[in-house]
Amino acid sequence: MRGLILALALLAASSEAPRVRIKSPRHGWTSQRVATLSGTVSDRRIRMVQISLNDAARPVTVRDGRFEVRLPVRPGSNRAEAVAVSGALQGRDQVTFFASVPATDLQILLVWDTEGTDLDLHVTEPSGEECYYGNRQTLSGGRLEVDDTDGYGPEVYVLPHAPLGEYRLAVAYRDSGRGGQTNARVEVILREGTPFERRYQFPVTLTQEGEMAPVGSFFIERPIE
């Protein structure tokens, strides 16, 4: 009888959608260019949530029912959503918050599709200086705001006032963790949140630890409006 009661309790639990709660940013606003989005999931068997910020989605690891990720926000209104899946059921929470931050000329994000792996974003600026985990602040004002080391990303590079010239992008497979292939994407965002916003994407696949893969380059040929 005890075994039957336990089985019925598990069945009842599995028939309920997981409860998701976003706990930060709090109070509906932030003054941080890279904000911490955190929350909880009621079902501790769930290991991943899908986080969307302004419709850009990425997976985030859940540990002991908690998740946390640092993401760049745009000036003004931002909308974040967290979705957890258990079987055919979904739980979700959504918040809207205001970011009191200045517009920035250039953001570059690196995301990838494997847990427990460490990829590194490398950005070489027109001056020839390279921004990466070993040189997080450049003379032109570029900064590696987020260095993710345990999977999925994002890594976030921000340059408030972008000099003219060529920007070269590369991704390093620093630590394979569980090993195997990982698929990554570098996203370039120019003047986000303004009428002059432009976005470009560069996909790249890496297969082994120690690999450095050139991803592509782009030019800023005239001052950003």
The string of pLDDT tens digits covering residues 17-41 is 999 999 988 778 888 888 889 999 9
Average pLDDT for the chain: 87
Check whether 2 has a pLDDT greater than 60. Answer: no
- Supply the pLDDT for residue 125: 97
Question: What is the spatial distance between Cα 30 and Cα 202, in angstroms, rounded to a whole number?
Answer: 30
Q: Please report which confidence band the pLDDT of residue 205 belongs to, taking 50, 70 and 90 as the band edges.
A: very high
The answer to whether the CB of 211 falls within 8 A of the CB of 172 is yes
pTM beyond 0.75: the answer is yes
Question: At 225, is the secondary structure helix, strand, or coil?
Answer: coil
